[in-house]
Amino acid sequence: MDLLNALVAFLNFVVIPAASYGAQLAVGALGVTLIFGILRFSNFAWGDTMAFGTMVVILFTWLFQSLGISIAPLPTALLALPFAILVTSALLLGTDRVVYRFYRKQKAKPIILVIVSAGVMFVMNGLVRIIIGTEEQNFADGGRFLISAADFKAWTGLAEGLAIKGTTAVTLVTALLTMAALFWFLQKTRTGKSMRAFSDNEDLALLSGINPDRVVQVTWVIAAALAVIAGTLYGLDKSFRPFIYFSLLLPIFASAVVGGLGSPMGAVAGGFVVAFSEVVVTYAWKKVLTYVLPASLAPDSLMQLLSTDYKFAVSFSILIIVLLFMPNGLFNKGK
């Protein structure tokens, strides 16, 4: 019984939160890695692109709510996703046309593009703050819990409850569908294949008649979709505050680097590696250990390796370890 309780507590406080956070990071990291693969720079505006997309989702959610449109028990935000993707794609394509294209034609050094993306970050951040303000926005409606802790306890008779929030389920399913669609697109369609070819070897791809402008445009549209989805899932799960999204840059970059920048599969794996390490290291293990260990050995401290304040230190350490020992990432051994 105690072992079962320990298992349930472990699932409830470690596995489920980490899985949902990991899915959000994975979708975000996919965008970073795609942009890196095709456009060959680390996009510092990524966090604010996510914030912008989420803001548009929130605006559409409010519109639908005022019109009385709802897809309960699912959150209205899901209905707003396609519209927000359209708006964000337009923004990113516009940014590319006005800003990035010039440097691409010039074949500027990647670091210049990084600085340019910092400028874009300022603009997007300003836009978000002007349009929606700096306050926290909660836009999650729909079912609160798929399984509530109390129900679970009543069902099983265990002391520990297992709660699955509605947003967790939405996150996992949406992220899974997004990843499946993206991988199908990259592996099976002609455009997807040309994108991979472009990413692997630009010169050869150009030689075989791939239109670089089209590849770049498609990349931005996909990136917009990923930014909107990742940002919305994160916002539904936690809440929306413009400056929080900037600080997501570090775990997202770490995820992309762990799997090897430019590798989509690696980005997904990296997202989960970072999320699980973060939760495992910052979780207070006292509860689980008290169930598992005999009473005489029960811990009296929290058994927390690192306080939750330092969760960024975890992504950072992972980043540094990978950069030092496997600079090409876990999945790019061949390169």
Partner 1 sequence: MNTRAITLFAGVGMLYVLTGVLLSWNVSLNILILGLLSAIMALGVNMQWGYAGLFSTGIVGSIALGGLAVVFVSGQPVPEAFAAGGWQAIGGLAVAVAGIAAAVAAWAYMAPGRSRNLAVAAILIGFFFLYRGIFDPAVERIEAFDPATHGNIGGFGLNSIWAWPVGGLFAAIAAWAIGKIALGLREDYLAIATLGIAEIVITAIKSEDWMSRGVKNFVSLPRPWPVPYEVEMQADPGFLAFCTNWGLNPTTTSTLAVKGIYIVMFAIVLGLLIWLLERALNSPWGRMMRAIRDNEVSAAAMGKDVKRQHLIIFILGAAVVGMSGAMYVSMLGQLVPGEYTPLRFTFLIWIMVIVGGSGNNWGSVLGGLLVGWLWLIVDNAGPLVMGAITAGMADGPLKVHLVDAAPQLRLLTLGVALLLVLRFSPRGLLPEK
Q: For residue 253, state whether it binds partner 1 (rule: CB under 8 A).
A: yes
- Residue placing its CB nearer to partner 1 in the complex, 228 or 252: 252
Interacting stretch for partner 1, rule CB under 8 A, among 62-70, 129-137, 179-187, 283-291?
129-137
Q: For residue 123, state whether it binds partner 1 (rule: CB under 8 A).
A: yes
Interacting stretch for partner 1, rule CB under 8 A, among 18-26, 127-135, 182-190, 208-216?
127-135
List 130, 207, 295, 297, residue binding partner 1 (CB under 8 A): 130
Which residues between 186 and 245 bind partner 1 (CB under 8 A)? 243
Residue 332 belongs to what H/E stretch?
Answer: none
Q: Where are the alpha helices (DSSP H) in 13-109?
A: 16-39, 46-67, 76-95, 101-106
Determine the Cα–Cα distance for residues 170 and 71; give it in Å rounded to an integer: 13
Smallest distance, partner 1 to C-beta of residue 117, A = 10
Q: Which residue has the tokens 């498609």?
A: 218
CA 134 distance to own-chain centroid? 21
Q: Where are the alpha helices (DSSP H) in 96-237?
A: 101-106, 110-132, 149-156, 166-188, 190-200, 202-207, 212-237
Which residues between 146 and 175 bind partner 1 (CB under 8 A)? none
Q: For residue 41, state whether it binds partner 1 (rule: CB under 8 A).
A: yes
Amino acid at 211: N
Q: Which two tokens stand for residue 284?
A: 């207070």
DSSP string covering 206-274: HHTT--HHHHHHHHHHHHHHHHHHHHHHHHHHS-B-HHHHHHTHHHHHHHHHHT-TT-HHHHHHHHHHH
Smallest distance, partner 1 to C-beta of residue 310, A = 6
Contact predicate 226/28, CB 8 Å: yes
Spatial neighbors of 241 by CB under 8 A, at least 6 apart, are 134, 135, 136, 137
Cis peptide before 299 (omega within 30 of 0): no
List 195, 205, 319, 331, residue binding partner 1 (CB under 8 A): 319
The size of the chain, in residues, is 335
- Residue placing its CB nearer to partner 1 in the complex, 22 or 47: 47
- Residue placing its CB nearer to partner 1 in the complex, 131 or 177: 131
- Residue placing its CB nearer to partner 1 in the complex, 165 or 311: 311
List 250, 265, 284, 292, residue binding partner 1 (CB under 8 A): 250
Would you give the binding string for partner 1 spanning residues 254-283, x where CB under 8 A is met? Answer: x--x--------------------------
List 83, 93, 129, 158, residue binding partner 1 (CB under 8 A): 129
Determine the Cα–Cα distance for residues 169 and 189; give it in Å rounded to an integer: 29
Q: For residue 247, state whether it binds partner 1 (rule: CB under 8 A).
A: yes
Q: Where on the chain is the footprint of partner 1 (CB under 8 A)?
A: 41-42, 44, 99, 102, 109-112, 114-116, 118-127, 129-130, 133-134, 243, 246-247, 249-250, 253-254, 257, 305, 307, 309-310, 312-313, 315-316, 319-320, 323-324, 327
